[in-house]
Amino acid sequence: MRVVDETGKQLGIMSLSSAIQIAQSRGLDLVQVTEKVKPPVCRITDYGKYLYAEEKKKRQFKNKKAGDLKGIRLSFNISTHDLETRANQAEKFLARGDKIKIEVILRGREKSLSDIANEKIKQFIQILSAKTNIKIEKNLEKRGRTLIMIIGK
């Protein structure tokens, strides 16, 4: 087995009994790091500290979240000022690492005028991209009477 000491220095390939003997002479433990390679890699270290470091890595990995999906609903007749207000809110969501679902629900006669709703979404994207950089996760698509687009940072 390949042996690495507590400082990270390679001690070379040796037998199990000699590696255990070196670890005991230093007052430490022999811990197998990986068995997937030939020869397996073992480290001379304090086993309690090793377990603590592994647990800490798992906790750190678990705490990272991908970000929520926040929704911003625009109306068909939304004014420019209201678009800017919604863009400010979207900027806050993006700063936190969330993704944004922009949707416009068309009602009645508005269904036949979906190109105007497309322009409203494009205007919103233009205002938002002037404030921060954005990445379009999902292009504009029509689902029934709703236009939906998903963006991220």
Average pLDDT over residues 14-29: 90
What's the structural domain count of the chain? 2
* Pair 148, 141: CB distance under 8 Å: yes
Q: Is the same domain home to 11 and 49?
A: yes
| pLDDT of res. 63 | 64
Q: Is the same domain home to 115 and 45?
A: no
Only one residue has tokens 């255990």, namely 20
Instruction: Please check the confidence at residue 151 and state whether its pLDDT lies above 70.
Output: yes
Cα–Cα dist 97/93, whole Å: 7
**Closest C-alpha among 126, 140, 104, 138 to residue 152:** 138
Q: Is the same domain home to 37 and 73?
A: no
Question: What average pLDDT does the chain have?
Answer: 88
Last residue of one domain, picked from the residues 24, 43, 63:
63
Q: Is the same domain home to 135 and 78?
A: yes
106: domain CATH number?
Answer: 3.30.110.10
50: domain CATH number?
Answer: 3.10.20.80
Last residue of one domain, picked from the residues 63, 88, 106:
63
What range defines the domain where residue 96 resides? 69-152
Q: Is the same domain home to 74 and 44?
A: no
Predicted TM-score of the model (pTM): 0.56
Find all residues with CB under 8 Å of 42, minimum gap 6, and list them.
Answer: 1, 2, 3, 4, 19, 30, 31, 32, 33
Average pLDDT over residues 105-127: 89
| pLDDT of res. 50 | 87
| pLDDT of res. 65 | 61
pLDDT exceeding 70 applies to what percent of the chain? Answer: 96
Confidence label for 103 from pLDDT (cuts 50, 70 and 90): very high
Instruction: Please check the confidence at residue 104 and state whether its pLDDT lies above 70.
Output: yes
